[in-house]
A and B are shown apart, each in its own frame.
Chain A
């Protein structure tokens, strides 16, 4: 058990809708990372938060947004959903601000299906 909790596990929704994915990091971890894994693109980094502040941005679409709350849990909001947004969305956490100073702990992912 990595200690990282992601909810929901599965989400099925229609095109044009908006969804929110939630992540609770491992106790003591201040960094939260979001990744998208689709069949044709593999794993891609979306965004990182550290102690409530946005730290780094990757290939995150403008339709997507995220935030980290004072209790350190994070939410990834996906809006105006398209079929191509169907993917596994992973959250990971680490103790430090940089992903090379401490191990990463991954959640089990949220499988999003857009129909």
Chain B
């Protein structure tokens, strides 16, 4: 079993829909990162969080440390949001990132 699991693996939505991507982890963590990987391959860091909730534009990330779960929400989705979204955790056992397998999001116009 992977230490970081994301769901769903693939998600197709219509423009304007509210989207949720989930991340569950089984190890102790210091922080959790949400990353966005564009079709061209480049990776952008969206959020880094260790508790609570963060918001940036139409993106919201939440984390529940007790339940070992984080969610990434996209409000009013747009085709330009189409990308792979990757959850990564910083384990307390070391200063390294352990990655989920990613969620491929496709937003259709």
Contact = CB atoms under 8 A, between A and B. Distances in A.
Contacts of B97: 33, 35, 43, 45, 99, 104
B7 interface: no
Given A43-B86, A99-B31, A111-B41, A56 B99 contact: no
Contacts of B31: 99-100
Interface in A39-75: 42-45, 48, 55-56, 58
A100 B41 contact: no
B45 A106 contact: yes
Interface residues of B, number: 24
A2 B99 contact: no
Interface in B55-77: none
Given A45-B96, A98-B30, A103-B48, A108 B90 contact: no
B45 A98 contact: no
Contact of B45 (A42, A45, A103, A108): A103
Contacts of B42: 106, 108-109
A42 B99 contact: yes
Nearest to B89: A100
B52 to A, nearest CB: 15
Contacts, number: 62
Contact of A45 (B33, B41, B44, B98): B98
B36 to A, nearest CB: 10
Nearest to B42: A108
A97 interface: yes
Given A99-B96, A100-B48, A109 B88 contact: no
Residue in B41, B42, B97 with the greatest tally of chain A CB atoms within 10 Å: B97
A105 B45 contact: yes
Interface in B64-109: 86, 88, 90, 94-102
Interface of B: 30-31, 33, 35, 40-45, 48, 50, 86, 88, 90, 94-102
Interface of A: 2, 33, 35, 42-45, 48, 55-56, 58, 88, 90, 92, 97-100, 102-106, 108-109, 111
